[in-house]
Amino acid sequence: MPASKPVAGPSVVSQAGRSGRNWVALSALAALIVLLPVAGLALEALKGSSGLWAHLFSSILPVALVDTVILLIGVGVVTAVIGTTTAWLVTAYDFPGRRMLQWALLLPLAVPTYIIAYAYLDILHPIGSVQGAIRWVLGYETPRQFRLPDIRSMTGCILLLGFVLYPYVYIPTRAMFLTQSGNLVDAARTLGISRREVFWRVALPLARPAVAIGIALALMETLNDVGAAEFLGVRTMTVSIYTTWITRTDLPGASQIALALLLIVVALVGLERWARRRQRYATDARRSRGLTPQKVTPLKGLLFLFAGSLPILLGFVAPALYLTTEAWKRYQFAGLSSRLLGEAISTITIATLATVVTVALGLVVAYATRLRPGKTSAFLLRLSTIGYAAPGTVVAIGVLIVLAGFDRLIDRTALDWFGVSTGLLFMGSGAAVVYALTVRFLAISVGGIEAGLSRIPLSLDHASRTLGQSTAGTFRHVHLPLSKAAISAAALLVFVDCIKELPATLLLRPLNVETFATHLYGEAARGTYEEASIAALAIVAISILPVILLSRVGTAGRG
Amino acid sequence: MAVSRATGDGNAMKQDIALQLINVGRSFGMTPAVKGISIDIAKGEVVSLVGHSGCGKSTLLRIIAGVETVDSGQVFLDGHEVDGGHFVEPEMRGVGFVFQDYALFPHLSVRENILFGLRRHKKAEAVANADEVIRRIGIEHLLDRFPHTLSGGEQQRVALARALAPRPAIVLMDEPFSNLDQGLRGQVRAETLSLLKSLDTTVIMVTHDPQEALSTGDRVVLMRSGEIVQVGSGYDLYDRPENAYAADFFCISNKVPGICREGRIETAIGNFMRPGGAAEDGSAIIHIRPQAISISLDRGDITARVKQRVFHGETEHILLAVDGLDTPLRAVALDRLPEGVEVVRISIAPERVLAFECN
C-alpha cells in the first residue's frame, strides 16, 4: 500500500468513522464485568479435587442431565406452541375480546416459576378443593378411588413452566407478525394461499427467528429455576448445584456442576444468536405494514376467545385467585406486618438499581455493534450476554468469589495504608445483588435494544451524520426516539425479572435484608406458610404493572 | 466547465477544486470495493458516477461523505484533508447526502426533517434557510406531514430539501431517482438538476442507468470492479470510449471479429479503421452500433436477410443475417421497410464504428 501516512483504524468493516471505537471499549468493559464471575467460578471449580469430579460424573450428573434435557425439550415445545398460536390468533383474526387478549396474554409473565409451582401444589392437592370438586361431580368419595395424576412429576413441571414462560415466545413472535411486511402476506394470498395456510407458509417461516429467540429465553429461564423443580421433585442440574452447595457447603462441587451446565447454556446462547443472525438486514422501515386482522363469525370468535384465554386462566388467573384468597385469609387473621413493607422497599430498590445499570450497559453493548459492526463487537456482545443463561445460583457463586476477593483486597489495602478496616464493602452493601442481577439480565437488555436498533435503516445514521450530528447526537435524536419502545420494553422485562429473581438475591443479599422472593422461599423452606401468600401476591402484583406498561408500549408502536 | 486533472495546475486551479481523491482504496475483508481511485472534481461541477451494481460507486460516495473510511489514499474537501492521515467526522464535512431510500426520519415531520441539519445554526438563520429551500423546492404544503404519508416523488423532494438546507458545498446523491416511476423520474431529475445548477452546487450522483449518467453529468465517471474505467463528458464516453467495456456499457453493439492488416482491420463485411498500437496480424473486434447500420432495398454494399423485426413505434429493431458472420447484426431503423421484405442491402457508416484490440 503506497499510502503516504499510516492509516488509523482496523481494516475491516466500519460504518461510522472512528468515533465508534470508544463505544467498543465500553462494550469490552461490559463484557469484562460479565466475564469476571465466570472466571472466578472456573478457578473455584479447578480447586476441587479430582475425586470430586469422579463422584460428579458417576452419580449426580447422569440423572440431572437427562432430567434437564427432558425438561428443556418439553418446555421448548409447550412455549413454542402456546406462544406462536396465541400471537397469530390476536394478530390475524378479529374477534370480540381480541384487544383484551393482546395484553392479557402477557400476564403469566408476572408469575415466577417457583410461585406457580407453589400455588398449584396446593390447588391440585389430592385433598384440595379442585380434586374434591371433581370427585364430587364424578361421585367418588375418597382420593383413593380417584385422583388426578400427581402434579409433582416431570409432566407437571413442563406444563406449569410452559404456562408461565410462553410469553417469552409470544412477545417477539407477535411483534414480528405486526411489523413484518403485510405485502408478503398479501402476495401469498394472491398466489392462492388461504389465510390459514399463510400462517404455515409465510408468517411462521418469517417469524422463525423471533420464535427461536423466544424459546431460547424461555429455556434459559427454565435452567435458572430452582423453586419449581425442587417443589415438583424434578432433579435438574440447577437443583443439584443448589443442593450441593446448600446441604454440603461444597463450593468447588457446585462450581463443577455449574461449569457442566454452562455447556448447555452455550448451546442456548448459540441458538439465540443464530436466530438473530439476519436481523441486521431487517425489513425496510418504510415498507413494513402489519396484517389487517380478519373478522370471523361470532361462533368462531367465541372459540378463539376461549382458546386464547386458556393459557391466561391456567398461567395467571388460577394462581392469582388462589394467592389472593390465601393472602386475604392471612390478612384477616394477622393484618399487614411492617416487615412486609420493609421488604417491599428493598425489593423495589434493588430491582430499580439493577434495571438502570443493566439498561445502561445494554445500550452500550448494542450500540457498539451498530456503530462498528464486525467481529470484535459481535464477539463482545456474545460475551456480555452469556450471563442470562447462567442460572442465578451459578452467577451468585461467581459474583461471591469475585467481590469477596475485592473486599479482602480493599480491606487489606486500607488497613495497611490508613490503619482502617473497610469490612465487606461490596458484600455488605447489596452491590453484590445488583452485580449478579446485571450479569443475569444484561442479555434481555442487549437483545431487546439490539433488535430495536436493527429495525432502523443504516441510511438514517448516515443521513444524520451528514446533516451535522455527531455519533452522540445521532444517538439522541435518531436512535433513541426510534428505539424508545424497544428500550422501555427491555427495561420493563429486566425490572420484572429482577423482582422475580430468587436464587442470586437469596445468596447475595446483605445480612438482615429480605426481599419478597427470599421471604417466600424462607417460609416455604421452613414449611411454615404464614405470610408467604402475601409476599407471593405482592411479587405477582408488582410484576403486573410492568406487564401492563409493556402491553401499552407494544400497541403504541403501531401508528 | 473547468475540468482539471489530478496533477494540479497551480494555486488558482486548486482553489477551484471541491473534491480531490488521491489513490483511494477500501476493502471489506478480502474483497476490495474501491481500488486506487484518483480524481479531482471542480466547484459547481455535476459528476455522475456510473457502473453496474457492486462496482464500488456507492462505497466511493460514502467515503466522500465520511460514513465510510478509506484503507489507503487520501480525500480532500475544499483543500482540506478529511480522510487518509487525518479523519474528519461526517458531521464536520459539510456535505449533503440524498439517499436511495431517502432515509427520512420516520419520527419527525417534514419540517423537523428539514430542520434536522440546522441544529447548529441560530434559530432565525435555521428557519430562514429552511424556508428558502422549502420555497424553492415547492413543498410548503407538506411541512406538517410525516414521511410515511408522502408519495415517492414527495419523499424525494423532502430528502433533497433536507440535504440542501444546511447549504452544503457538495451534494452527494445515491441513485436519487431510482425509486420513482418512469414517468415522474425525468421530470423530477430535470427539476432537481436545474435547482442544483442554479445554486452552483457541486454534485456527485451515483447511478446505474447509462442514459441518466449521460444526460445529467458535466462529467461522467465510469467505474468497474472498484476502478475508474474512463472519465469524460457524456460525448467522450459515448463517442470515444477507451475500451470495449466502456463502449458496451452505454450501447450494446454488434461485435464483428477481424484481423489487423496494413493499417486496417479486415472483416467479413469490409475493412475498417485500425485502433492505435494494434499489432500487425493481431486480432481485433469492431463494434458497430445498431444505429450505424442503414438499410435500404437497393443501395448498400452488403446483402442481408431479414430474420426478425420488432416494432417499437418510433423505431424498428431488425435482426439481419449476413453471409460470413456467425451472429446476425442488430440494426435500429427509423424508416419503415415495406412489409414482407426478405432480402435487403445494408451499408455501415465507417466513422461510427469503433475498433478495439483483442485481449
Domain ranges of chain B: 10-94+168-248, 104-166, 252-357
Report ipTM (2 d.p.).
0.78
Residue B199 burial by CB count (10 A; 0-12/13-18/19+): exposed, middle or buried? Answer: middle
B-chain residues near A2 (CB < 8 A): 23, 72
The three grid cell numbers given for residue A299, joined into one nine-digit string: 361462533
pLDDT computed for residue A198 by the predictor: 79
Contact status, residue A165 vs residue A75, Cβ threshold 8 Å = yes
- Region of residue A189 (phi > 0: left; psi between -120 and 50: alpha; otherwise: beta): alpha
> CB neighbours of B337 closer than 8 A, spacing ≥ 6?
B295, B297, B306, B309, B316, B318, B344
User: Do A531 and A341 touch, CB atoms closer than 8 A?
Assistant: no
The predicted pLDDT at position A182 comes to 65
Our CA angle for A142, A321, A217, nearest 5°, is 105
Which distant-in-sequence residues (6+ apart) come within 8 Å of B132 by Cβ? none
Write out chain A residues lying below 8 Å of B148, CB-based. Answer: 286, 559
* Count of domains forming chain A: 1
Grid cell listed for A290: 402489519
* Chain B residues inside the 8 Å CB shell of A468: 91, 117-120, 166
pLDDT at A8 over 50: no
Measured CA to CA, the distance from residue A485 to residue A473 in angstroms comes to: 19
| C-alpha to C-alpha distance for A27 and A12, rounded to whole angstroms | 18
B117 to chain A nearest CA, in Å? Answer: 4
Residues of B in Cβ contact (< 8 Å) with A16: 67
Q: Going residue by residue through chain B (359 aa), what tens digit of pLDDT does each one get?
A: 344 444 444 444 566 899 999 999 999 888 889 999 999 999 999 999 999 988 999 999 999 998 888 999 999 999 999 998 888 888 888 899 999 889 999 889 999 999 998 888 888 888 998 999 999 888 999 999 999 999 988 999 999 999 999 989 899 999 998 888 888 888 888 888 888 988 889 999 999 999 999 988 899 999 999 999 999 999 999 988 988 899 999 988 899 888 888 778 888 888 887 776 667 788 888 899 998 898 988 888 889 999 999 988 888 899 999 988 888 999 988 888 888 888 999 988 888 888 888 76
Count Cβ neighbours within 10 Å for each residue of A55-66 and write b for 16 or more, e otherwise.
ebeeebbeebbe
Q: Which pLDDT does position A290 carry in this prediction?
A: 63
SS (H, E, C) A471-523: HHHHHHHHHHHHHHHHHHHHHHHHHHHHHHCCHHHHHHCCCCCCCHHHHHHHH
Inter-helix orientation angle A251-276/A61-92, to 10°? 30
Q: Give the C-alpha separation, A55 to A60, whole Å.
A: 7
Check CB contact of B28 with chain A, cutoff 8 Å. yes
* Residue B77 near chain A (CB below 8 Å): no
Whole-angstrom distance, CA of residue A242 vs CA of residue B62: 55
Q: Are B286 and B353 in contact (CB under 8 A)?
A: yes
* Alpha carbon B187 to chain centroid, angstroms: 18
Q: Are A463 and B99 a contacting pair, CB within 8 Å?
A: yes
Calpha distance B197→B16 (Å, rounded):
16
- Tens digit of each residue's pLDDT (9 = 90 or more) over A446-460: 988 988 888 888 889
Query: Structural domain of residue A222, as residue ranges?
Result: 61-240+281-329
Residue A516, domain member (yes or no): no
Dist CA A544 CA A539 (whole Å): 9
Question: How many Å lie between the alpha carbon of B38 and the closest alpha carbon of chain A?
Answer: 13
Minimal C-alpha gap between A452 and chain B (Å): 14
Residues pairing with B343 in the sheet: B305
Which pLDDT score, from 0 to 100, does residue A549 have? 64
Distance CA B289, CA A195 (A): 53
Which residue of chain B has the CA closest to A371?
A: B67
The rounded distance, in Å, linking the Cα atoms of B106 and A86 is 30
**A460/B29 touch (CB, cutoff 8 Å), yes or no:** no
Could you tell me which of A546, A553, A439, A432 has the C-alpha nearest to residue A495?
A546
Give dist(CA A548, CA B284) in Å, integer.
Answer: 76
Whether A126 maps to a domain, the answer reads yes
Residue A204 pLDDT level (bands cut at 50, 70, 90): confident
Q: What is the mean pLDDT of the segment spanning A321-348?
A: 88
Q: Nearest C-alpha of chain A: how many angstroms from B264?
A: 42
Does domain B10-94+168-248 fall into CATH 3.40.50.720? no
Exposure string for A441-452, b = 16+ CB within 10 A, e = fewer: bbbbbbbbbbbb
Comparing A150-154, A215-219, A442-446, B45-49, the range with the smallest average pLDDT is A150-154
Report B:33-72 residues touching A (Cβ under 8 A). Answer: 62, 65-72
Contact A286 B147 (CB under 8 A): yes
φ/ψ bin of A95: left (φ > 0), alpha (ψ from -120 to 50), beta (otherwise): beta
The Cα–Cα gap between B229 and A257 comes to 64
**CB–CB of B116 and A477 under 8 A?**
yes
Nearest residue in chain A measured CA to CA from B99: A459
**How far is B351 from B333, CA to CA, in rounded Å?**
18
The reply to whether residue A15 touches residue B68, judged by beta carbons under 8 angstroms, is yes
CATH number, position A200: 1.10.3720.10
Is the predicted pLDDT of residue A146 greater than 90, yes or no? no
Chain B positions touching A370 (Cβ under 8 A) are: none
CB-based burial label for A306 (10 Å; 0-12, 13-18, 19+): exposed
Separation CA A444–CA A486 (nearest Å): 11
* Percentage of chain A modeled with pLDDT above 70: 88
Residues facing residue B24 across a β-bridge: B37
Confidence of residue A324 (pLDDT cuts 50, 70, 90): very high
From A2, A9, A286, residue closest to B23, measured CB to CB: A2
State the CB neighbour count (10 A cutoff) for residue A204. Answer: 16
Cβ atoms of A492 and A546 within 8 Å: the answer is yes
- Cα A310 to chain center, whole Å? 22
Rounded alpha-carbon distances, angstroms, from residue B170 to A421, B47, B64, B99, B119: 65, 11, 10, 14, 19
Nearest residue of chain A to residue B65 (CA atoms): A466
Instruction: Give the dihedral sign, CA B106/B112/B118/B120.
Output: negative
Residues of B in contact with A9 (CB under 8 A): 69, 87
Q: What's the gap in Å between the CA of A429 and the closest CA on chain B? A: 42
Mean pLDDT of chain A, nearest integer: 81
**CB-CB neighbours of A146 under 10 Å:** 14
Cβ separation A463–B72 shorter than 8 A: no
Q: In angstroms, what separates the C-alpha of B24 from chain A's closest C-alpha?
A: 9
Q: Could you count the other beta carbons within 10 Å of the beta carbon of residue A520? A: 27
pLDDT digits (tens, 9 = 90+) for A419-428: 887 777 777 7
Whole-angstrom distance, CA of residue A237 vs CA of residue A243: 10
Q: Is A137 inside any structural domain?
A: yes
DSSP structure string for A2-54: --SSPPPS-SS--SSTTTHHHHHHHHHHHHHHHHHHHHHHHHHHHHS-HHHHH
What is residue B74's predicted lDDT score, i.e. its pLDDT?
94
pLDDT score of A409:
86
* Least confident window among A184-198, A438-452, A531-545, B338-352: A184-198
Please judge whether B65 and A14 are an interchain contact, meaning their C-beta atoms are less than 8 angstroms apart: no
Query: Is B147 at the interface with chain A, CB within 8 A?
Result: yes
Most B CBs within 10 Å, among A466, A474, A478, to test the B interface: A466
Q: Between B69, B89, B119, which is nearest A14 by CB?
A: B69
pLDDT at A19: 60
| Residues B105, A322: Cα–Cα separation, whole Å | 49
Q: Nearest CA to CA, how far is B288 from chain A (Å)?
A: 41
3-state class of B169 per DSSP? coil
Cross-chain Cβ contact A286/B28 below 8 Å: no
Is 0.90 topped by the overall pTM? no
A12: which chain B residues are within 8 Å (Cβ-Cβ)?
28-29
Asked if residue A30 belongs to a domain, the reply is no
pLDDT in tens, A75-87: 999 999 999 999 9
**Secondary structure in 3-state letters for A310-363:** HHHHHHHHHHHHHHHHHHHHHHHHHCCCHHHHHHHHHHHHHHHHHHHHHHHHHH
CB contact under 8 A, B97 and A473: no
For cell 447526537, name the residue. A473
Using the beta-carbon criterion (under 8 Å), do A19 and B100 form an inter-chain contact?
Answer: no
Among B105, B150, B162, pick the best mutation site for testing chain A contact (most A Cβ within 10 A). Answer: B105
Contact A467 B95 (CB under 8 A): no
